[in-house]
Amino acid sequence: MLDIVTTTPRAIENCRNRGGDMWSTHHDISDVSLYERFAKFRPVPIEALTSKPDLTPSGEVIRDIVEPQRMKDFSALQNVATGNVIDVTPFRGSYTLKPHDLLMAEQAQIVLRSELPLGNVEVVDRIFEEGVRVHRTIYFHDLANALGTTTTGEKDVVRCRLDVFNSVDKSWAFQIFSGAYRDLCRNTLVFGGEKAYHQKKKHVGSMSTEAMTEKAVMGLDMWANQSEQMRLWQDRKLTEGQFVDILKTTLCKKESKAAKHEGLAESVAVNERRLNYLLERFAEERKELGETLWAGYNALTHWATHLPDAREKGRDEKKRFDRNNAVRQLISGEAWQSLETKKAEEYAQ
C-alpha cells in the first residue's frame, strides 16, 4: 500500500481575493510567493517626450519631431510581476524603496536564524490595492500569554505574533510590531495584550528594515525567555541626560593615549560621532517605547547589529561580536544597574 504524502499549500496556491485585495494563510515563513507573484515592485526610469519643429530652409514647419528625454534621478514604480506601472508621484533621492518581496524574504531569514519556536507557526499574507500596500502577520502558537480569565472562567490566551506593514507609494510608513496581543490598528494602537517592540519609519534616508526586524524578533525572544527582565526595563526611566552620562564612560569613551592625558578637555575623550549616533537611535526608540531602559537597550542593540560602517569582507561578524560584548558590559555596569533598581516614584521626588 502506498503512503499518502501530504504537502503544505504554498501561499500562492492558498490565496483568496476580493477586488484588488488578496490574502493567504499558510505555515511557511520563508514562502513569499504571494508577493513575488502579485506585488514585485522595482524602480524604472522615466522619460519625458519633448518636441521640436522640423523646418524647411525658409523656416516653415514641416512637422514636430518628438524625442524622449531621460529625467535624471527620477524613477517610477513598476509591478514587474504584472507589468503595470502604478499611478504614484515619481520619486527621487531621499526616498528609500523597500520592495515587498525582498522585505519579506529578509524578515524570513532573520526569524529563521532566531531561537524562536518555529514548529507551529501560522503566516497571514495580505496585499491591498493591487500590491501598493501589504501586511504580514506571523503567529507563534507555541508562545502564548494568559492575560487573565474570560467571563466564563476560562483562561484568556493571546498568541505571540509579529506584524509588518509596508507600502511602495508612501501611503504607509514601514511599521513592525512584536509581542503578545490580540489585534492591532494601522494607526499604531495595539490593544488586548503586550507589545515587546514597535517601530515606525518613513521611507527616507537611512531606514534599516533589517535592524528594525532584528529588534522586533529580539523583543519576542526576550518576552519568551526573559520576560521579567524586559518588563523591568520597560518600567524603569532613562532620560537622555542619563543615557549620555552612561555612554560617555562606556561605549563612547576614547581609549587613546591622547584622550587619557590629564590636561585635555573632557570633550576630547569622547567619541562624539558615536555618541550622536546612539542619541539619534534613542530618540527614535523612545517615540514608541518611552524614556525607558527598554528604549535605551534597543538603541544599543541597533548599534551592535546594524553595521553600515563595517562592510569589509570578513569583518562584519568580528565587529558585531565586539559590539555585543561592549553592550553586555554596559548593561552589567554600575550605572545601568543602579537605574534598574530605581523605582518610578523616586524620579518624582
Least confident of 28-32, 85-89, 121-125, 175-179: 85-89
All three cell numbers of 234: 520597560
- The residues that bridge with 138 in the sheet, in sequence order, are 123, 162
**Residue 240 reports pLDDT greater than 90:** yes
Other CB atoms within 10 A of residue 293 CB: 25
> Could you give the percent of the chain with pLDDT greater than 70?
82
Task: Report the alpha-carbon distance of residue 26 to residue 67 in Å, rounded.
Answer: 49
Least confident of 80-94, 273-287, 324-338: 80-94
- Are 164 and 107 spatial neighbours (Cβ–Cβ below 8 Å)? yes
All three cell numbers of 302: 541597533
- DSSP assignments along 103-165, one per residue: HHHHHHHHHHHS-S--SSEEEEEEEEGGGTEEEEEEEEEEEEEEEEE-TTS-EEEEEEEEEEE
**Residue 3 reports pLDDT greater than 50:** no
Rg of the chain, C-alpha, whole Å: 26
**Residue 43 reports pLDDT greater than 70:** yes
In the numeric block, the cell 514587474 is attached to: 80
Give me the amino acid identity at 223: W
In the numeric block, the cell 517592540 is attached to: 197
For residue 54, what is the enclosing H or E element? strand 41-55
pTM of the model: 0.76
> Coil, strand, or helix at residue 39?
coil
Confidence of residue 331 (pLDDT cuts 50, 70, 90): very high
Question: How much is the pLDDT for 162?
Answer: 95
Q: In this predicted model, what pLDDT tens digit does every residue of 218-232 receive, in sequence order?
A: 999 988 888 888 889
Q: What proportions of the chain, in percent to the nearest 5, are helix, strand and coil?
A: 35, 35, 30
Beta-carbon contacts of residue 307 (< 8 Å; ≥ 6 apart): 316, 319, 320, 323
Burial 37-55 (b: 16+ CB within 10 A, else e): bbbbbbbeebeeeeeeeee
**Residue 93 reports pLDDT greater than 80:** no
Mean pLDDT, range 113-138, rounded to an integer = 93
**Residue 349 reports pLDDT greater than 50:** no
All three cell numbers of 13: 496556491
Cα 120 to chain centroid, rounded: 24
Confidence of residue 288 (pLDDT cuts 50, 70, 90): confident
Question: How much is the pLDDT for 188?
Answer: 63
For residue 211, what is the enclosing H or E element? helix 209-225
